[in-house]
A and B are shown apart, each in its own frame.
Chain A
Amino acid sequence: MASRLALSKSTPLAHLRPRQRRTYASEIESTYTNPHADQQFIAGALDGSKSHAVQSATTSPAPTTPDPDQVLRDYEFSQHQKAVTSKIGSTLAPHYRPHELLSNPPSPKDITLELLLASQAHIGHSTSLWHPANAKYIFGVLAQTPSDPIHIISLDATAAYLRRAAKIVSGVTERGGLVLFVGSRGGQASTVVRAAGLAGGCHLFTKWIPGTITNGQQILGKCGKKVVDHRDEAVPGFEEQLIKSAAVKPDLVVCLNMLENYVLLHECALNNIPTIGILDTDCNPTWITYPIPANDDSLRSVQVIAGVLGRAGEEGQKKRKVNAARGRLPMRQDHGLEAPGEEGEGVGGLGKEMSALMAAERFGEDEVELEGRDVGGEVEEVDASLLEDGMEAEGVEVPYERDEGVDIRNWDTETGERMGRRSEQVGSAQRSARTGGSLGGGERSHVDPTWDGETGERYDEGGVKRR
Chain B
Amino acid sequence: MGRYNLAPQRVQSHATALLSAGRLATPPPWYPILSQIPPSAILSRPALQRSQRPGSKPSKKSRLFKPLRLNYEEDRLRWEYFNDHPWELAKPRVVLEDEGRDGEKYDWSVPLDHSLRRPKMGSLSEEGIELDQDWDRTAESQAGRPINGEAVVQRTNYLLKHSSGHTHATASAHALSEFARLRHYQETTLRVAREEAQSTGAFFGAGPNEVGMKLEDVQYENWRKWAGEQVEALRQLQGSAYTGNEAETLESTGEARAALQEVGGSVPGSKRGQEARGGAAIHA
A-to-B contact residues, CB < 8 Å: 94-96, 112-118, 133, 135-136, 138-144, 149, 151-152, 161, 164, 167-168, 171-172, 174-177, 251-252, 265-266, 268-270, 272-275, 285-291, 330-334, 408, 413-414, 416, 433-437, 439, 442, 444-447, 453-454
Contacts and interface: CB of A to CB of B under 8 A. Distances in A.
B67 interface: yes
Interface string B21-53: 110111111111111110110111110000000
A149 B11 contact: no
Nearest 4 A-B pairs (CB), nearest first? A171-B33, A114-B100, A177-B29, A118-B100
Interface stretch (B68-76, B151-159, B196-204, B232-240): B68-76
Nearest to B20: A447
Interface of B: 4-9, 11-12, 14-16, 18-22, 24-37, 39-40, 42-46, 65-70, 75, 96-102
A388 to B, nearest CB: 10
Nearest to A154: B67
B32 A175 contact: yes
A171 B14 contact: no
Contact of B8 (A151, A274, A334, A454): A274
5 contacts: A172-B33, A274-B8, A286-B9, A286-B42, A447-B19
Q: Choose among B18, B20, B29, B97 the residue with the greatest number of A CB atoms under 10 Å from its CB.
A: B29
A427 B198 CA distance: 94
B99 A114 contact: yes
A118 B67 contact: no
Contacts of A273: 11
Contact of B35 (A139, A144, A291, A414): A414
Given A135-B46, A274-B8, A439-B19, A332 B26 contact: yes
A201 to B, nearest CB: 12
A446 B18 CA distance: 11
Given A268-B8, A273-B11, A445-B20, A135 B65 contact: yes
B75 A437 contact: no
A275 B6 CA distance: 12
Given A133-B43, A140-B70, A331-B26, A272 B99 contact: no
A334 B26 contact: yes
B35 A454 contact: no
A138 B7 CA distance: 24
* Candidate in B20, B27, B44 with the most chain A CB atoms within 10 angstroms: B27
Given A141-B70, A286-B43, 9 more contacts: A171-B30, A175-B29, A272-B15, A274-B34, A291-B40, A334-B26, A437-B24, A453-B20, A454-B22
Nearest to A149: B69
A138 B6 CA distance: 22
Contacts of A289: 8-9, 11, 34, 39
Contacts of B44: 136
A172 B22 contact: no
B34 A168 contact: yes
